[in-house]
Structure 1
Amino acid sequence: MILVTGASGQLGRLVIESLLHKVPAAQIVAAVRNPQSVADFAARGVQVRQADYDQPASLHSAMAGVSKVLLISSSAVGQRIAQHAAVIDAAKQAGVKLLAYTSILRADSSPLPLAAEHKATEELIKESGLPYVFLRNGWYTENYLAGVAPAIQYSALLGCAGEGRIASAARADYAEAAAVVLSSEAAVQPIYELAGDQAYTLTAFAAELAQVSGKPVIYRDLPEADYKAALLGAGLPEGFAGLLAASESGAAKDGLFDDTHQLSSLIGRPTQSWQAQLKAAVAG
């Protein structure tokens, strides 16, 4: 059986949808805090088990009879190491044959502050002695698509990524990669650096947005502190605004760039183009 943590989240749902095309539903376990949130999967034959990162006992119960686990990183930045450690311990106690983890692109050398907890989690997994796969996911293109409407409204896309290259991919592509690894009967490599086939700068992204929307949009590069202030002005919480701004500064150092094409190789097709995603987002 294959267990997916965080199965009700955006990535988790896509992973299970992909798995349903590869293995029988009865072999899939959706681990969630609230089982009702995945009632639709239960109706399709997926096993649903209650599991909470902050309740270790629930994790141990959820992993009974499981052979492979996908640990989708927690969204609780700052608390993730302890939460992930609880999952790793439960997986070890259950004797799982493979623990896959959604990490971040080049977690061991990334300039992004988000990488610290991912790197620490990778170390814990290595120390556990469990067979593992690190799915080092790059940026989701959706992270930038969320800013399309305000960029059109104000004729400017704000950021502090300079001319850093961003090789983002669709969330669905990363989900497909996870499903391929989890459903494979063949040996898989321990680390995959996953990113989109095509890279772009935010200057190019803004130019493409102007083209497809028919509206004037430029990229306005700001100092990190000013970009953080703009995010705060848009209503983002202090911690989240700071994290996003620091991540953009990491992108300026090519922290979100990769050209090894491991993602498209793993899923057996080209990654979805960012231009097509942008066009679809503008079309609504």
Structure 2
Amino acid sequence: MTGSRLDERNAQEAPAVLEWIDEGIARITFTRGDSHNTVTFDFLDMVGRLLREVSARKARVLILTGSGRTFCGGAQITYFTDPQSPLYRNARAIRDDYVVAILNVFSKVRDASCVTIASINGFALGGGCELALSCDFRLMADHTRMGLTETRIGALAAAGGVQLLARVVGRAKALEIALLGDQLSAKEALAAGLATSLHPADQLASATEAFARRFLVCSPISIAETKRALYRCETVGGQEADQIALDAVASAAAGTEWWEGMAAFTEKRNPSFRAGD
């Protein structure tokens, strides 16, 4: 499907909307910028549903972005401060009902077979930074900031921060970022390896789309198997890592795209890869 088509859900009511900006490229936009796109339960429910739709329609690239001045502002703090909230002074509910729900959604981003890109238009703090860490790539507006700020308010970055940050920036830098709770400038995020690239705010969307289109020349099966193997090999070594790579080769070679790629190379033409082939 070519061209821009917003999901029919009313953006004024929904915390997120799905848009197909090109064939194979989906974009989920968080629409409550006026309230900092915080991670509410209805935010999680909607994003989870949209992720299932993206998977069902076999997107090849997924872009996540925000609105207003915020990419995603992290946890809904009133859940912890409102005496009427079921999470108020309830450690078990905070862990089992809220953080687990966040992990369930963010892990769908992390485990997606397609390429995932965080297009960070504004602040990505706390849970917002964790959502960005769940993506394969993080393109960032050069005026904004990101960071795991939980230690500044007595909390913990358990929705992906402590699990993923060291894999992205290394343990020493991860400790510095997570323990100090600083808000990193875009330049600092790039220097730390947290951001993939920086762009002027008015060019971020087009730069993200251009980056996304670069993956359309690649085999969806090869991308899916390569991603899965890379992430699995982060936690193992030696023969176990070799076996993961061998299993990925077997999966890729069992699909039609391997043979289409080989034929195209031999025939000196561009291969034709389509998700779902």
TM-score by length of 2: 0.32
Bigger relative contact order, structure 1 or 2 (CA pairs below 8 A, ≥6 apart): 1
Q: TM-score, normalised by structure 1?
A: 0.31
